[in-house]
Amino acid sequence: QKEVEQDPGPLSVPEGAIVSLNCTYSNSAFQYFMWYRQYSRKGPELLMYTYSSGNKEDGRFTAQVDKSSKYISLFIRDSQPSDSATYLCAMSNYGGSQGNLIFGKGTKLSVKP
């Protein structure tokens, strides 16, 4: 079993739809959870981050973490064509000054006008 599982899609939705992206993980030591957005041929950019369990909202984006189920989600409301990108979940246990991220495969999202 891989440490982080993410459905690669592709996912195609009409403009204005609510998008739900998810990841599951197996390592219960993960404490920091992030969502990155990656446009084609670009590096990932941090979209949302959450510590431990709970919800976090930022504009049209909501991140949820359920540590008991080892499941994280990213919701995009009122999706726009500009949201079309690959979304990568990432997580870390961050035990000190160093630490690296474990990524999901990414879900490719296409928002049709």
Partner 1 sequence: GAVVSQHPSWVICKSGTSVKIECRSLDFQATTMFWYRQFPKQSLMLMATSNEGSKATYEQGVEKDKFLINHASLTLSTLTVTSAHPEDSSFYICSARDVGMGGGYGYTFGSGTRLTVV
87 token code pair:
């979304």
Shorter beta-carbon distance to partner 1: residue 17 or 31? 31
Shorter beta-carbon distance to partner 1: residue 5 or 17? 5
* CB neighbourhood size of 14 (10 A): 9
Q: What are phi and psi of 82, to 5 degrees?
A: -70, -10
Shorter beta-carbon distance to partner 1: residue 17 or 49? 49
Residue numbers of the site for partner 1 (CB under 8 A)? 6, 8, 31-32, 34, 36, 41-46, 49, 51, 88, 90, 92-94, 97-101, 103-106, 108
Question: How long, in residues, is the chain?
Answer: 113
Distance of alpha carbon 24 from alpha carbon 2, whole angstroms: 10
